Amino acid sequence: MKLGLCSWSYNRTFASGKMDLEKCLKVCADELKVGGIDIIDVHFKGGDNVANLVKDTTYLMKIKKLATDLQITISAVSPGNSFGKDDPKDEKAEVDKINKWTDIAYILGAPNLRIFAGWAPKEKHEELWPKVVKSIKECAEYAAKKGITLAIESHNDGGYLPTSVETLKLLKDVDSPWVKLNLDTGNYQDPEPYAALKKSMPYVTHMHAKIHKLSPDCKELEFDYDKIFKVLKESNYRGFFNVEYEGIEEEIEYVPKSFEMIRRFMKKYGTF
């Protein structure tokens, strides 16, 4: 198993202007001492305008070279998206956006593009589900030409994929070797979330280590990392396990504490 950072861990620090992507890469290398990073779209300069990023690749090449020089693997690029739009033009725009982000992942040498199924009112999930499947299939066909794996992440808050049931059904319906899972350890809303993680592991290409409530002495108070690491150990997971800190405490202090906690469990379970 390889340890990395999800740049969302520093989202408030990015938003304040105290960090940019170049600085974040240097923090990964010099302070956190990890080998990988999953980059959230808004953390690229002008990341909310994917068309401009694709047109002018000078900035992307600068990021790629810096990551290479620092010996940091860009394990994934993670845009925001939502399929299943009522208006066909809006749905096509979502597909086009993901295809452009696939181009960016290709340029950066990232093997995975994290995507979402999306969000819609619960009463419309069944009606819109075929659109979601069709759009992801279209994106997968494009991603296959670039050698990029689409890593679907389940999500709560009204998403199409609140539990492992919907998530694994989506994989089955899409039925593409280029569509797998970005498994977040804290997103499933199953009655037995750790059993759901275990059930999902055969389909995983990339992971987020969710951290919500970390004590000052580096103990996660919301998620049971003993159970999580037993799943990782039993599954022989060898991909990137990227810390995604979402606590309310100061990120500059608590992201390193999060890595201290994860490394303690890696040592305990021998998952280096």
Q: Is the pLDDT of residue 228 over 90?
A: yes
Instruction: Please state, in angstroms and rounded to a whole number, the distance separating the CA atoms of residues 114 and 19.
Output: 22
pLDDT of 63 over the 90 cut? yes
Global pTM?
0.96
Query: What is the rounded (10 degree) CA torsion for 149, 187, 197, 171?
Result: -40
Three-class secondary structure of residue 159 per DSSP:
strand
Range of the domain at 91: 2-269
90-126 exposure pattern, b = at least 16 Cβ within 10 A, e = fewer: ebeebbebbbbbbbbbbbbebbbbbbbbbbbeeeebe
Taking the C-alpha atoms of residue 9 and residue 69, their distance in angstroms, rounded to an integer, is 23
* Total structural domains within the chain: 1
Q: What is the CATH number for 163? A: 3.20.20.150
Q: Do residues 115 and 139 lie in contact, with contact meaning Cβ atoms separated by under 8 Å?
A: yes
Tokens, residue 165: 């049931």
Reported confidence tier of residue 207, pLDDT bands at 50, 70, 90: very high
pLDDT digits (tens, 9 = 90+) for 80-103: 999 999 999 999 999 999 999 999
Q: How confident is the model at residue 172 (pLDDT cuts 50, 70, 90)?
A: very high
Across the range 12-24, mean pLDDT stands at 97
For 103-129, give the DSSP string.
HHHHHHT-SEEEE---B--GGGHHHHH
Residue 168 contacts by C-beta under 8 Å, 6 or more apart in sequence? 199, 200, 203
Average pLDDT, the chain: 96
- pLDDT tens figures, 20-56: 999 999 999 999 999 999 999 999 998 878 988 988 8
